[in-house]
Amino acid sequence: MAINNAYLEGVYNDLAARYAEQSEYLEAVHEVLETLAPVVEQDPRIEEQNIIGRIVEPERTIIFRVPWVDDQGKVQVNRGYRVQFNSAIGPYKGGLRFRDNVNLSIIKFLGFEQIFKNALTTLPMGGGKGGSDFDPKGKSDAEVMRFCQSFMTELVKHIGPDTDVPAGDIGVGAREIGYMFGQYKRLTNSWTGVLTGKGLSYGGSLARTQATGFGLCYFANAYLRDKGMSFEGKRVIVSGSGNVAIYANQKATELGGKVIAMSDSNGYIVDENGIDYKVIQVIKEQKRARISTYLDYVPTAKYVEGCSGIWTVPVDIALPCATQNEIDETAAKALVANGVIGVFEGSNMPCTPEAIAVIKGAGLLYSPGKASNAGGVATSGLEMSQNSERLSWTFEEVDAKLQGIMESIYKACADAAAKYGMEGDIQAGANIAGFQKVCDAMLAQGICY
């Protein structure tokens, strides 16, 4: 889709010239600016105060060296990042990604998305993201601990419970959060809720582990219900097999769906009887093994090498839960040809622009990650609240709040789309509703960032 407003186009063209090599970041910015023309045209203050030119640049970017010693005694060096994108509505908030392909473009795209996602939760959280090109896969626990301690030794200078509150993302789960939290506490001699996704024995929230996957299904369910449908009896693809994917499988199954296919970065499995999320928990959370070993537990299932073919498996609902740009135009055409009714994003920016055009063009239901995967960060916000009041809520309390938040996000997106004459366009609605809140706060606070 084109950016059909001269001001928005001008901002984008400047950015594209300045950061020509940052393709993921430019893709994320373009996707938002494509949908904001009607908002910008109704409020002249946005252009007068150059809100768009300001919102697309991070408030602060921190890049640092992370040295650590491997099990052979060799000194290794990785790069660490924290992009503090926008603090208009609250402290910077967003995950840390540890993966070999991490670079500034990927962290900036994630941080940019996070601004609007966090605004949609209705909780007071600004946008940020960080990470490293360190990949915990294949490393020993001791190596991961030494890396996390070194990473936090620098990060500690930039974060705090009222400044910036990191959490997990790809490659950062309970183990990594625990090591980083321990080091933060040692360096500052203080116990604060500076990270979310903590273990339950030291301030974590019940249901945070499940929150992104559960929230995705609560959102999809609200969207399906609005269109007179449900998960009942539906065949589902859940790509990936990490934190988001495992609990998306659990909730989709509880809502009456059957998860036929899941994947990792090596390949995918197909089980016509439905994939039991508990088997994936054992493979991925306990053994840190490959999805191909699913056949050791369920010999009747099928394993296919290479992860992109998963989108050719005939299903009714697609829940991408692995990584960015995992659904390209070819994959989107395969989904449409198989009669899929909806694509609800669990991962951040899983669909390429060409894929989105195919999916929306064919009239499928489509929800962008910044709306449908907001349950993770929303529950992080609930973890921050519990830490502040020195209390912990029950699983049922947190889960009920999560469900309420996801249903409100769906309604906010649908209402914003309708208000600007784009009824039913949840993608545009998500961008507009998220932007509106941050824009109001930036206008009120003057030219401070």
Residues of span 161-180 touching ligand 2IT by CB under 6 A? 167, 169
- Note whether 28 binds ligand 2IT by CB under 6 A: no
Give the range of 47-55, 88-96, 252-260, 273-281 binding ligand 2IT by CB under 6 A: 88-96
- Note whether 376 binds ligand 2IT by CB under 6 A: yes
- Note whether 143 binds ligand 2IT by CB under 6 A: no
Percent helix, strand, coil in the chain, to 5, is 50, 15, 35
Structure tokens at 56: 């697309």
355-387 burial string, b = 16+ CB within 10 Å, else e?
Answer: bbebbbeeebbbbbbbbbbbbbbbbbbbbbebb
Interface pick for ligand NDP out of 210, 241, 249, 372 (rule CB under 6 A): 241
Give dist(CA 327, CA 332) in Å, integer: 6
Interface pick for ligand NDP out of 243, 253, 372, 436 (rule CB under 6 A): 243
- Note whether 307 binds ligand NDP by CB under 6 A: yes
Window 337-366: contact mask with ligand NDP (x via CB under 6 A):
---------xxx------------------
Beta bridge partners, 342, equal: 317, 365
Residues of span 259-298 touching ligand NDP by CB under 6 A? 264-266
- Note whether 322 binds ligand NDP by CB under 6 A: yes
What is the per-residue DSSP string for 164-186? EEEE-BTTB-HHHHHHHHHHHHH
Give dist(CA 171, CA 385) in Å, integer: 25
Beta bridge partners, 68, equal: 76
Give dist(CA 354, CA 372) in Å, integer: 20
Q: Say which entry of ligand NDP, ligand 2IT, none residue 128 contacts (CB below 5 to 8 A, set by partner kind).
A: none
Give dist(CA 389, CA 412) in Å, integer: 28
- Note whether 348 binds ligand 2IT by CB under 6 A: yes
* Residue 261 · residue 304 · CB < 8 Å: no
Give the range of 14-22, 38-46, 183-191, 242-250 binding ligand NDP by CB under 6 A: 242-250
| Residue 74 is a catalytic residue | no
**Under rule CB under 6 A, how many of the chain's residues touch ligand NDP?**
25
Q: Say which entry of ligand 2IT, ligand NDP, none residue 265 contacts (CB below 5 to 8 A, set by partner kind).
A: ligand NDP
- Note whether 168 binds ligand NDP by CB under 6 A: yes
- Note whether 210 binds ligand NDP by CB under 6 A: no
Give dist(CA 346, CA 320) in Å, integer: 6
Could you say which of 117, 129, 251, 258 is catalytic? 129
Nearer to ligand 2IT, 86 or 380 (CB): 380
The CA dihedral of 151, 152, 155, 156, to the nearest 10 degrees, is -160
- Cα–Cα distances in angstroms (integers) from residue 29 to residues 15, 300, 370, in the given order: 9, 44, 13
Q: Which residues are tagged catalytic?
A: 129
The residues binding ligand 2IT (CB under 6 A) are: 93-95, 117, 167, 169, 196, 348, 376-377, 380
Which residues bind to ligand NDP, rule: CB under 6 A?
137, 168-171, 173, 212, 240-245, 264-266, 307, 321-323, 346-348, 373, 376
